[in-house]
Each structure stands twice: as C-alpha cells, then as structure tokens.
A and B are shown apart, each in its own frame.
Chain A
Amino acid sequence: MAEPKVQRRLRPWQTLPDGLRAYRAVLASRGRSQASYRASFRMDLVGAVLVGLIEFSEVWVLYSATDQIGGFTLAQILLVFGLADLAFSLADLVAGHCDNLPVYVRAGTLDVFFLRPQPVLAQLITSDLSLRRLARSLVGATALTAGLVLNDIDWSAGTVGLLVLALVCGFVIFSAQFVTAAGLQFFLINGSEMTNAFVYGGRYAATQPANVWPRALLVVFGAIFPVAFAAYLPVSTLLGAPGPAGLPTWVGWCAPVAALWAVVFAWLCWRWGLRHYRGAGG
C-alpha cells in the first residue's frame, strides 16, 4: 500500500507557483513543437498575415466609396480596426483553440483533462499556443500605430491609460467569447456554425463604427457580447468624436465593466456546458 498522503488544504496563492509550473511546461512544449516544424510554421505565418491584410482591405474598400462612415474618417477607423484586431488576435493566440472543443471531445482529450489535478478550463486554455497568430497581430498593431500617427491625438496620461485599458479589456472580452463558444458547443451539434457568428462576427463588428449598426446588432454586440467596448467606444472617447446617440462621451471608460460581464457570461456558459458533459443536468 502506498503511503497515504496527508492532504493539507492549501490557499490558492500557496498553490500558485506549482500550478504555474504545470501550465508553463505544457506551453513551452507547444512552442517547441511549433518551432520544430519550421516550413509549416512559416507558411502559417504568411497565411495569417494575408488573412489580416484581406480583412483590412474590406475596410479600405468601404472608405474608397465614401469619406465617412458613422462620423469616422479612414484615419479614425484605423484606430478602431487596429485596436480591435490587435485585441482579437492576441485573444486568438491565447484562447483561440477553445472553440475547437468538439475535436477535444471526440479525441478523448477532454476526458484526459479530468484526470489531471488542474481545472479543466485552465488546461483547455493552456493546451495550445498558436504562435503563428503572433503574425496576425502584426496587422492589427500596424493599423493601430498608423491610426495613432495620423490622428490628432491630445496625448496625456489619460489617453495612454485609455488605450491600454481598451486593449486589455478588448483582449479579455474576445478571450471570453472563445470560452463562451466552448461552453455552448457542449450542447450544440455542429455548434461552431452558431458560435462563429458571435466569435468571428463579433471580431468583424468590433472593427466598425457601432453607430451604423441596426438596433438588433447593437443589443447583441453592444450588450450580450460587448465587443463595441473593445475598440469603437474607447476610440470615440479618445477622439472626442460623436459617439452613439444618447451615450455620454466617457462611456469608453466603461470597458472594464463590459469585460467583467463577458467573463461572467463565459464562466456561466462553460460551467453549464461542463455540467451537461458530465451529465449532471443542464
């Protein structure tokens, strides 16, 4: 008989370094394995940059037909696009594989996660790290930089703070969308069709000025999946531009509230989905 181990209940902060060791080991191995397939990695990089450029060209085409959309000029929309796209691609880098959940379920990987002493969601998020998506974020970063140079920005600690806040919250909101998608896919057969609508649709919506959206889209992407807070609203506040009718100009500072909501919603969806998977009733 093996020695019965005394299980002392540890506080979360006491287990943290050890917990991190596990995630670090998995992530480091992911990085190494991608580096070992160099040619494939380079192709992925090129592909990711191309996709980013195509997405940007959509914006470009729109503005070649008109000077302003929703009160935003091309220079101004560069800021919105850059911020949203950068936040999304970083979220995609960290959590993008979550909406591949059906693959994990079919391959039995998810069951294996249950056999390890870490939370299942934390294992899912750290199970992969797609470095090629770093290249994707270059497109967003370039657009953002261009937007910052081209616009007449009144630089202060406040504007810098707002930009950082928007980027962090945008990252959190988009990451939460991926987790939401994972949670819902426990229920839906071929659920990615539906979850793509708000994950990738949300990314697309976030790069546009939200005040041209129809009301239904405003509810979906302004409140339920609050991607409007990732770029459009903070940029409106930053530029002092006329935001959506009826909202104060400081609404861009509310991004953390939206991020918090997105996280809570994602957590609930995940819990609900996982309960369903284990058969505890929905």
Chain B
Amino acid sequence: MNVIETEDLTRVFTGRPNRKDRFRRPRHVAVDGLSLTVEAGESVGYIGANGAGKSTTIKMLVGILVPTSGAVTTVGLHPLKQRRALARRVGVVFGQRSQLWWDLPVQESFSILSSIHSLPAADERVRTAELVEMLEMGEFLATPVRQLSLGQRMRAEVAAALLHRPELLILDEPTIGLDVLSKQRLREFLVAQRREHGTTLLLTTHDMGDVERLCDRILVVDHGSLAFDGTFDGLARTVGARRELVVDLAAASPDLVDLDGAEHVRSESGGLRQRLAFDPQRTTAARVLAAVSERVEVLDLSITEPDIEDVVREIYRATRR
C-alpha cells in the first residue's frame, strides 16, 4: 500500500498587490508539479534549501493547506475531505510548534491527547508507559512543559505524536537545536519505533546525520519539484558526501598532501591545523588518522559532517545543468 501519493501536486501563493503594480498579485510557486509515492514502512528524508517547498508539501499532506492543483492521498485518504479520519492515523511533529499544553505537566498533556484520540483507558496506560520508557521521560513526566529543556520537550513532542500509534509519522525538523546526545537518542528511538511497529517515516531536516542514520530513501526538493530521489549512497555518489578530518598538530607542518584516501583541503594557523576531506565509503577516519600520524604528531582532532546545505547545493547544481 502507498502511504503517500501525490500527483502533479502544485501550490501557488498569491500575495497582496503591491503599490507599484496594483492589478497584478505577486505569485509564488511553492510546490510545483510534485509527484511522489511513499510505500508503507519506508523511511524518507525530505530535504531541500529553506523555502524549497518542504513545509508546504507537509501541510498539504495533512490537510492544513489546499493544493492549487494536483492530487494528494495520505494513508489512502483525501486530506481535505477526510481530515479527521486522517488525523487518527497520522502523527505529526513540527519542530517549531508544540502540541503540548505549555502550562501542564507532560503526563497530563499525554492524557488529554489520549482522550482526543479516544484511546481506551487500558491502551492509554500501556502506550504511555511504553513511550515513557523508550524515550526515557520518567524523570520529567510531572514537570510542566514550559520548564523542559529543548531535548526533553522534543522527546515529549515525539511521544505525543505517537500515542495513537499512527501508521505514518511526519517530522518537520525534529532535531533542530538539539545537542549531539539528544539527537542520537531520538534517532535511536525512531529506528526502534520503525522496527517494532513498521511506522512509515517522513522527515525534513537540515542535519545530514539524521538523513544518513534514519532514512533509506532521500528526496531532494528544489523550487517545489523533485531534484533527487534515491538512497543515501546514491546521494553520496552523486555529490560526494565527504567528511572532513580536522587535525591540530604539535608543530607547524607543510600541507599534508598525497595521503591515501584523503585530500588536503586547506591549512590554517600556518600549518598547525589542517583539514583533510575523505570519502567514508572508501576509507575510514581511523585509517586517515593513521596515515597522518605516520608523518606528524597529532594533538587533537575533530570530524565534520557534510553540511546538508552543501549537499543540496551540489544536487541543485547537478540537476540544473
């Protein structure tokens, strides 16, 4: 079964007429003839630059916005005509807006949401306990939402979206602003959730790590239409999703060129810090480090992931050619 189906989905925003041209309303095509299918159980990363049409697409998928033209079906339902039936089967997390009651304890938000989704009392207990355990929310269950840290609130938001066991979970920027540990925890939870319940995932993100660890399929959207549809490996092959090893050296050294599997990007502080790019498909950070250590003494190191903005820019460049 297809969980998401869109055909030639288009959304045009018309602004207010401006003073110069009173009779023409400015038009902005946010989503432009988008056709895509997501099957049950897939995990899809939906990425693109700011303003590429990601949020607009999501709003049309769940019935908040009406398409200008084209068709959209979510879990087999029409999002506008069957919005309420759809709401029972889809969970949505908007990173920027909360579904919790800011002045109530987390526990109480869960119990209101259970009522909203008319979960039977026994089911509510089991499901809440399960989510509390998996997302490690026990310690802040009695804390009012407004006092939670961002990481805690995000976990509570994800739990809130999953209480009614939706078939499809849509996450809009779920890891934005989270620290590394919180991100990692959330990703692990989502992977487990998928494994156990077969939940279909659609997520938008600016974090390459999210895409790499969570998604087995990636859609890149550019100016409202699809620029790439494939696996992470495919994406990495297309744009060369290279990582950078940054090494701080004990003594200034000439540029570390001709290393096996790594390429010198640039040197800073007169050669005390050097940046080396490598392809994780072909070598490992450890091997690159070993090669560097043979030549010079390394004091400190860090690895930077490719920025999703860069990846997207590369894709745009490749497809617009």
Q: Is A278 an interface residue (CB 8 A)?
A: yes
Inter-subunit contact B87/A115 (CB<8 Å): yes
Inter-subunit contact A25/B116 (CB<8 Å): yes
Counting chain B residues whose Cβ lies within 8 A of the other chain, the interface size class is: 35 or more
Q: Is A158 an interface residue (CB 8 A)?
A: no
Q: Is B117 an interface residue (CB 8 A)?
A: yes
Q: Is A12 an interface residue (CB 8 A)?
A: no
Inter-subunit contact B197/A114 (CB<8 Å): no
Name B97's closest neighbour in chain A (CB-CB).
Answer: A108
Name B170's closest neighbour in chain A (CB-CB).
Answer: A115
Q: Is B250 an interface residue (CB 8 A)?
A: no
Chain A positions 108-140 with a Cβ under 8 Å from a chain B Cβ:
108-109, 111-112, 114-119
Partner of B165, one of A2, A107, A115: A2
Q: Is A24 an interface residue (CB 8 A)?
A: yes
Contact with A along B81-97 (1 / 0, CB 8 A): 00111011110101011
Inter-subunit contact A2/B167 (CB<8 Å): yes
Q: Is A190 an interface residue (CB 8 A)?
A: no
Inter-subunit contact B197/A25 (CB<8 Å): no
Name B100's closest neighbour in chain A (CB-CB).
Answer: A112
Known pairs A25-B111, A108-B96; A1 contacts B198 (CB<8 A): yes
Q: Is A11 an interface residue (CB 8 A)?
A: no
Inter-subunit contact B64/A33 (CB<8 Å): no
Q: Is A245 an interface residue (CB 8 A)?
A: no
Name A2's closest neighbour in chain B (CB-CB).
Answer: B167
Inter-subunit contact A117/B85 (CB<8 Å): yes
Q: Is B293 an interface residue (CB 8 A)?
A: no
Contact with A along B29-67 (1 / 0, CB 8 A): 000000000001100000000000000000100111110
Chain A positions 1-51 with a Cβ under 8 Å from a chain B Cβ:
1-2, 4-5, 7, 18, 21-22, 24-26, 29, 32-33, 36
Inter-subunit contact B112/A26 (CB<8 Å): yes
The distance in angstroms between the C-alpha atoms of A1 and B64, with both chains bound, is 25
The distance in angstroms between the C-alpha atoms of A85 and B266, with both chains bound, is 75
Max count, chain B CB within 10 A of own CB: residue among A2, A24, A25, A118: A2
For A279, what are the chain B residues with a Cβ–Cβ distance below 8 Å? 11, 13, 65-66, 68
Given A26-B115, A115-B90, A279-B66; 17 other pairs, CB 8 A cutoff: A5-B89, A7-B85, A22-B115, A22-B118, A25-B111, A26-B116, A29-B101, A32-B104, A108-B96, A108-B97, A112-B94, A112-B97, A112-B98, A115-B64, A117-B87, A279-B65, A280-B66
Chain A to chain B contacts (Cβ below 8 Å), 12 pairs: A2-B165, A26-B112, A26-B116, A29-B104, A29-B108, A29-B112, A33-B104, A109-B97, A111-B97, A112-B94, A114-B62, A114-B83
